[in-house]
Amino acid sequence: MTAFIEVDYRFPAGVDARSQAQAIAIGQTAGSWDAHFQHREAQLRGHLGKVAAITELADGCHQATVRFPAANVDGRLGSLLTMIFGKYSLAGPAKVTAIRLPEHFGRLPRFGLEGIRARLGVQERPLVMAIFKPALGLTAGDHAEILAKVAVAGLDIIKDDEILPDLPMAAALARWEACAPVIEARRDQTGRDLLYAVNLSGDARQVQTLALQLVAAGANALLLNVLAYGFPVLEALVADPDIDVPIFAHPSLAGAWCGAPDYGFSYGALLGTLMAYGGADAVLYPAQYGSLPFAAADEWAIVEALRARGVAPVPSSGVHPGMVGRILDDYGAEVILNAGTGIMDHPQGPASGVLAFREAIERWQNAAPRALEDLPAGPLRAAVEKWGQG
């Protein structure tokens, strides 16, 4: 049975969608050939794409669906991207709005939200994740000090800031080694693990080597700026049986691929579908509730694509305790709440930031009222007094 890859392209008003879709179906596959290749006719035809549908959208745009034989590519995202939007991306305004892949295509997350929960020993409630701040300029020892504060307050996951590469003053391995005893101590005391997603950097081979070194030293999670490093770098990490820890994908650079109305990719296709088929275990993206301008429709398209393959959704950026109720009303409990300043800049310190999140989660679980006047004195109330209810 032939498997197909279906891609929706949106063309702005004024573009002849049918002829463009036809150009994609042929030009991005076998191309044209003449009498010299008659003996390969059947084979060549088998690689051609096909325009499956053209739909007029409300605003004068058109959507074209092109169906590609899955056998044109090697089941990895590099050749997929090259086929569906490689040279054609240079042909004028067009946006990839959806990518539908055969189920067996690409990678499955090895952990996903379920596997992350299993590692943490936390079922049911939403998970809480923090970010080391400030981003650059701390030592490995500073990281351990910060971690000690949030660990005792019951944090589930912490990650490096994405802009922190493997620099001499706080090398990735040194950061892990400084933080490992803190994580171990909490495990001894509470029986509960804490994941630290250490940021990867370097060239592709260095990324892989660093990941192996970190995991060999006990590191229990990794962070990758997937778009800045390339989906094939993610795929190589996921393919390596020795890198048996959850991989958190950061959306760094996604605005350059997705921000424009008539170019690039939709956020759902890029941060949802492609991340999920690249094998990420958890994917961060801007939350509509947060500090970046992000459309609800984009957020839900991402979440739907991630959840379809068991990947953990991680709404991020400007998330603080006061908006937890609203986020959980929308997401339910199967989500990782991720906060940088929303934890680290709590008026009573980072530990109280974590406690405020946990308190907000509990109130949501108990359907307790959320207005400021209903909150008892404590970390959540102090957070809402600072940041509002969002």
Nearest approach, Cβ of residue 366 and a copy of itself (Å) = 33
Active site residue 87: yes
Nearest approach, Cβ of residue 289 and a copy of itself (Å) = 14
Nearest approach, Cβ of residue 93 and a copy of itself (Å) = 7
| Tokens of residue 251, six digits | 């959306």
Q: Is the N-terminal amide bond of 246 cis, ω within 30° of 0?
A: no
Q: For residues 1 and 371, which CB has a smaller minimum distance to a copy of itself in the complex? A: 1
Could you list the beta-strand ranges (E) of 259-324: 263-265, 282-286, 312-316
Task: Return the SS3 of 379.
Answer: helix
Q: For residues 176 and 364, which CB has a smaller minimum distance to a copy of itself in the complex? A: 176
Query: What is the DSSP annotation of 104-171?
Result: TSS---SSHHHHHHHHHT--SSPEEEEE-SSSSS--HHHHHHHHHHHHHTT--EEE--TT--S-GGG-
Q: Which of 45, 19, 21 is closest to 32 using CA atoms?
A: 45
Strands 312-316 and 62-69: unpaired
Candidate list 50, 87, 133, 159, residue with the active-site label: 87
Nearest approach, Cβ of residue 163 and a copy of itself (Å) = 5
CA 174 to CA 333: how far, in whole Å? 34
Q: For residues 258 and 375, which CB has a smaller minimum distance to a copy of itself in the complex? A: 258
Q: For residues 61 and 83, which CB has a smaller minimum distance to a copy of itself in the complex? A: 83
CA 126 to CA 142: how far, in whole Å? 28
Task: Give the active site residues.
Answer: 87
